[in-house]
Structure 1
Amino acid sequence: MEHQHSEEELKNIAYQLGCPEGEHGIKTGEMMHASNIGMTTSAIDALDLKNNENVLEIGHGNGGHIAQLLSKAENLKYYGADISKTIIAEAEKINQEFLTQGNVQFKLTDGNSLRFHDHQFDKIFTVNTIYFWRNPSGYLNEIKRTLKPNGILALCFADKSFMQNLPFTSYGFTLYEVEKVKKLLESAGFTIENMVNKTEQIKSKTGQQVERTYHVMVASN
């Protein structure tokens, strides 16, 4: 029989998805990597990476996909920004070889600002983090600040119609329809270049097999 999660369990799932912590956080990172790899791959593909580019990922999880990203072009520099010390430690462990080579680095952030230079990145992407942004307009301004002129942002998020049916998203998630995200991007001075809509079968965070519709919105600086 399917386990019915208590309100406390659902709140904990939501919290760990927003900021994984401790042993539970490590397991959450593994689970997120497995369930999000389709979305992550789509976002990476949307960046159309070229040799010698600097790439920032906001909310990188355990970084199990970084080797895949680095194989897309030569001499890429990858930077990861996350609000979880637990998840950064896991990502460093998984990507130790790349850290040693100097083409990957991770930075702890506060979810409001990005501690990087102006115009540092050619490409920025983020998958399933927008739900947790406390100040979306301010954060997009930060992203724009760190992007080079004509730089590209790939913003990947699940459709509101899917997210609102998950039992834990009423605890700390802000859900978005496509038009709302478009308006946020345009208000921050981005130009929408392209949008990819996809549907996939995944195992949900509570263990059920579900169909997820998601969007990859590509915008230029």
Structure 2
Amino acid sequence: MANRARVSDTLWRAVGRQFRRPAGLGGRLMGHVMEWINRAPNREAIAALAIAPADVIVEIGYGPGCAIEALAASAPRGRVYGMDPSPAMLASASRRNREAVASGRVNLSQGDICDLRLAPESVDKILAVNVVYFLDEDGGELKEARRLLKPGGRIALYATDQSVMRRWKFAGPETHRLYGREELFELLLRAGFDPGDIAIRQVDVAFGVTGLVATATKQ
């Protein structure tokens, strides 16, 4: 029984690592899983951004590229940039968005937002869905996101509530940092957003899963 438990724990940790940074065949399979589980969170977070047709948009952790596709459709006269640490997801998202990439409307890269070489205050909207678990606890990446935002620009984060995540064996402390409403609020404060410019609402996405959509506007 003890050996079986250790094997089970090892397998769940491997799943958690694939969520964090998909790689190889498992990563390609994880891309299909992400496409399914992020459908409702993407919809909720993108709606919270209130995208305008000419917006410049960044997605942190674009995964298989489904939200990139939706963002490009929402901003037909704008530009969409995406950063993701996984080469497997870069390949998948590039295939999905090949026409928009070829036209120059979408630019996808491997890395994190700190590797995105854009001028300060050049971005209108930033999206990060089911990514916050993997970001620096001190808000480093979100500080960079805030630096890129224009005055009046907005970031939208989606995270499954920690009360739900604690039930999922793959979301262990080795790979995931869990967030509730208070923790998300504090993270955005550490990134430099003012308390009055942060809003967090609860959403029910599917199968009893409760998530949080947090938005913050740069003044």
| Aligned with residue 91 of structure 1, among 82, 93, 105 | 93
Q: Residue 183 of structure 2 aligns with which residue? A: 180
Q: For residues 44 and 190 of structure 1, do their structure 2 counterparts lie closer, same or farther at Cα, with a shift above 3 Å needed?
A: same
Deviations along 1:198-219, one digit per CA (max 9) or x if unpaired, are: 1132xxxxxxxx4210011110
Unaligned 5+ runs, structure 1: 202-209
Name the structure with the higher helix share.
2
Q: Residue 207 of structure 1 aligns with which residue? A: none
Amino acid paired to 2:209: R
Partners in 2 of 1:97 and 1:71 — Cα distance? 12
Q: Secondary structure at the match of 2:139?
A: helix
Deviations along 1:93-116, one digit per CA (max 9) or x if unpaired, are: 11111111110011111x472422
Partners in 1 of 2:122 and 2:26 — Cα distance? 34
CA contact (8 A) 1:112 1:134 kept: no
| Aligned with residue 200 of structure 2, among 180, 186, 195 | 195
Unaligned 5+ runs, structure 2: none
The number of residue pairs the alignment matches comes to 209
| Aligned with residue 33 of structure 1, among 16, 21, 35 | 35
CA contact (8 A) 1:50 1:74 kept: no
1:159 CA displacement:
0.4
Q: Secondary structure at the match of 1:65?
A: helix
1:193 CA displacement:
4.3
* RMSD, aligned CA: 1.7
| Aligned with residue 209 of structure 2, among 209, 212, 220 | 212
Partners in 1 of 2:38 and 2:56 — Cα distance? 23
| Aligned with residue 12 of structure 2, among 3, 10, 25 | 10
Partners in 2 of 1:63 and 1:155 — Cα distance? 16
User: TM-score w.r.t. structure 2 length?
Assistant: 0.89
Deviations along 1:118-143, one digit per CA (max 9) or x if unpaired, are: 22210001011111113442112111
Does residue 1:157 correspond to 2:159, yes or no? yes
Q: Residue 20 of structure 1 aligns with which residue? A: 22
CA contact (8 A) 2:181 2:200 kept: no
Does residue 1:48 correspond to 2:50, yes or no? yes
Q: Residue 108 of structure 2 aligns with which residue? A: 106
User: TM-score w.r.t. structure 1 length?
Assistant: 0.88
Deviations along 1:11-54, one digit per CA (max 9) or x if unpaired, are: 11000000000111011011111111100111111110002110
Deviations along 1:33-91, one digit per CA (max 9) or x if unpaired, are: 11111001111111100021100000001112333222224312111110111110111
CA contact (8 A) 2:122 2:148 kept: yes
